Amino acid sequence: MIRINENYTKLKASYLFTDIAKRVNAFVAANPAKPIIRLGIGDVTEPLPPVCITALHAATDEMAKRETFKGYGPEQGYAFLREAITAHDYTARGCPIEADEIFVSDGSKCDCGNIQEIFGSDIRLAIPDPVYPVYIDTNVMAGRTGMNADGRYTGVTYLDSTPANGYVPAIPSAATDLIYLCFPNNPTGAVATRTQLAAWVAYAKKNQAIILFDSAYEAYIRDPAIPHSIYEIPGARDVAIEFRSFSKTAGFTGTRCAYTVVPKSLQAFDAAGQPHSVHALWTRRHTTKFNGVAYPIQKAAAAIFTAAGQQQTRAMTDFYLGNAKLIRDAMAKLRLPCVGGDNAPYIWINTGRDSWEFFDLLLNQAQVVCTPGAGFGKCGEGHVRISAFNSRANVEAALTRIAAALK
Ligand code: MLT
């Protein structure tokens, strides 16, 4: 008799954004005359930068000719893209990362979900709360947690992000083996200072642990003192893997391109305490289960690193940060405390009310979709996340409607 992976029965029935979509679809079906504005899932709305469109057209034409046609590419990505990434995102920032430590993929969601496969099933996890649900759910699926009791899985060290710590969690007193960090943070928009990241690197070194650093929102950092990469911290290449994405940097949520950095100096251990190269393990996994990102998409991603591409993507992230400022200002007027939005596209609002109730209130009274904080974990209760990804007209209309609904 075929059996299921029973770890799946520990999960909530559906993924957070699927849950929200169901509620929103039900509202739309019942209220077809009331147009909704979506500031929930962080999905971009602005078209791809012109450099990407030009590169896509040119690469598509190459695929039309025998002489320039491409079949399978290297699973880790074409050298032209890996080299551009290394030069612009790492060498230029003084980070000691080489092109062959970059693994190009079709998304950071997949990469940060898949990476746990190469580690032991009995390792100790440190996971933030609130958190991007992929980190915790993929570990539940892999059987690294116990049951969910009162909103938390047993067997996990949760890193609380609360108003008291400015939504930047403290280092745990207990030793852990695999630590998930995301800065600028999804969902809170909080950023970590160099000193805070250096403390995490020291903790990981001391415990022979690995940090999984999700840096998908680094393009939104405007404060020059905030690190864009964990590899700006000396010694981090011995203890950290970094995830980066073109989704929020250049509007690739539907186009799909991202990359993961696995330094060759990174080691993990077998039961006998013998070290193994994590780069070799991830190479084995990636080449076995992934066949590369489409050539035209990689050409479009590489175009971002040209001078024109840098200017166009900066204009795009500036635009969304302009939306974020409007949202923050509107929340201040409503006397709702919030963080984020200055170095991140998310605004995390402390509503002081049940977060699903607040979500329903905004949906029913303002026809605005946000994300209830409780969906990101127990510490998210009392909060909602508003995303700055939408047109200016929609953000302005949503803020007018929210103000009217909360009067
Ligand atoms: C979010 O809304 O949290 C993100 O869009 C999710 C993602 O990037 O997968």
pLDDT tens-digit series, residues 65-98: 999 999 999 999 999 999 999 999 999 999 999 9
Angstrom distance (rounded) from CA 274 to CA 293: 34
81 and 99, same domain (yes or no): yes
Residue 316 CA: distances (Å) to CA of 47, 58, 215, 265, 391: 9, 23, 18, 35, 11
* Nearest protein Cα to ligand 1, atom 9: 109
- Centre of ligand 1 to C-alpha 301, Å, is 19
Which residue has 């999984």 as its token pair?
Answer: 212
- Centre of ligand 1 to C-alpha 41, Å, is 6
Beta strands (DSSP E) in 16-169 are 37-38, 102-105, 125-129, 148-149, 152-153, 156-160
- Centre of ligand 1 to C-alpha 254, Å, is 12
pLDDT over threshold 80, residue 39: yes
365 and 270, same domain (yes or no): no
Q: Which atom of ligand 1 is nearest to the CA of 17?
A: 2
pLDDT tens-digit series, residues 364-401: 999 999 999 999 999 999 999 999 999 999 999 999 99
Nearest to 158 by CA among 176, 183, 185: 176
- Predicted confidence at residue 15, as pLDDT, reads 86
pLDDT over threshold 90, residue 262: yes
Angstrom distance (rounded) from CA 63 to CA 40: 37
* Nearest protein Cα to ligand 1, atom 5: 42
Pocket test for ligand 1, best of 41, 135, 247 (most atoms within 8 A of CB): 41
144 and 163, same domain (yes or no): yes
Pocket of ligand 1 (CB under 6 A): 41-43, 109, 132, 186
Q: Amino acid letter at 247?
A: S
φ/ψ (deg, to 5) at 10: -80, -20
Q: Which atom of ligand 1 is nearest to the CA of 109?
A: 9
Angstrom distance (rounded) from CA 343 to CA 321: 8
Q: Which atom of ligand 1 is nearest to the CA of 43?
A: 5
15 and 76, same domain (yes or no): no
pLDDT tens-digit series, residues 282-339: 999 999 999 999 999 999 999 999 999 999 999 999 999 999 999 999 999 999 999 9
Angstrom distance (rounded) from CA 26 to CA 33: 13
Total residues belonging to the chain: 407
Q: Among residues 307, 329, 356, which one ends one of the domains? A: 307
CATH number, domain containing residue 327:
3.90.1150.10
Q: Is residue 28 part of a domain?
A: yes
* Nearest protein Cα to ligand 1, atom 4: 42
- Centre of ligand 1 to C-alpha 154, Å, is 25
Q: Is residue 339 part of a domain?
A: yes
DSSP assignment string, 177-192: SEEEEESS-TTT----
Domain that holds residue 351: 6-47+310-405
0.95 surpassed by pTM: yes
